[in-house]
Chain A
Amino acid sequence: GAVVSQHPSWVICKSGTSVKIECRSLDFQATTMFWYRQFPKQSLMLMATSNEGSKATYEQGVEKDKFLINHASLTLSTLTVTSAHPEDSSFYICSASPSGGYRWDEQFFGPGTRLTVL
């Protein structure tokens, strides 16, 4: 199957700093990528939909100025957590779709990035 990678797999940062997380589709071009957040022992919550070459669409309640998403190429989307605070500590997971999201049964998930903000 298609492979999606995330980097870094884990990161620890100080409060107030910014952290960038990369999501890459390794063997296919992803017109659409999705970013999810998962708190410990909880489910995944969709944060935003990222379409190549256009602005991301954020879910209600997600601060777009805090969670900056860039999808500049068909194989890479980045999520930047700006001025991170301890409450931003979470597991961030991306998924990528080669078909613009329509055939969502072709959505492939990355391994996740564990962010800990001290």
Chain B
Amino acid sequence: SQQGEEDPQALSIQEGENATMNCSYKTSINNLQWYRQNSGRGLVHLILIRSNEREKHSGRLRVTLDTSKKSSSLLITASRAADTASYFCATDGFSNTGKLIFGQGTTLQVKP
């Protein structure tokens, strides 16, 4: 399988705390994306980071990318109960076909 690993698989925190999720992948990439999925729903695109970028911010989200370690992290600051969802990273496997390779995902629970 080309899918990477995400860690942790599950994370439970209190509202207001920060949540950090990690993603590792196996191939070279052009870009890496993070998505959120609420239970039983489709995917919401959160952020894209290109292979020549090391860090990117979007609101309360901070994404880092270390291509030498083939890993990325997603930090959600000041979490809210509404952030409760599963989070997936996805890479393109260094192709231009549009195919995405998803990580296993991290299930985040934010307790009010």
What residues of chain A have their CB less than 8 Å away from a CB belonging to chain B? 6, 32, 34, 41-46, 49, 91, 93, 95, 97, 100-102, 104-105, 107-112, 114
Contact = CB atoms under 8 A, between A and B. Distances in A.
Contacts of B41: 111-112
Contacts of B25: none
B42 A97 contact: no
B98 A49 contact: yes
Contacts of B88: 43-44
A108 B45 CA distance: 8
Interface of B: 3, 31, 33, 35, 40-45, 48, 88, 92, 96-105, 107
Contacts of A110: 42
A77 B10 CA distance: 34
Contacts of A95: 43, 100
26 contacts: A32-B98, A43-B3, A43-B103, A43-B105, A44-B88, A44-B100, A45-B102, A46-B100, A46-B101, A49-B98, A49-B99, A95-B43, A95-B100, A101-B98, A101-B99, A102-B98, A104-B96, A104-B98, A105-B33, A105-B48, A107-B98, A107-B100, A109-B43, A109-B45, A111-B42, A112-B40
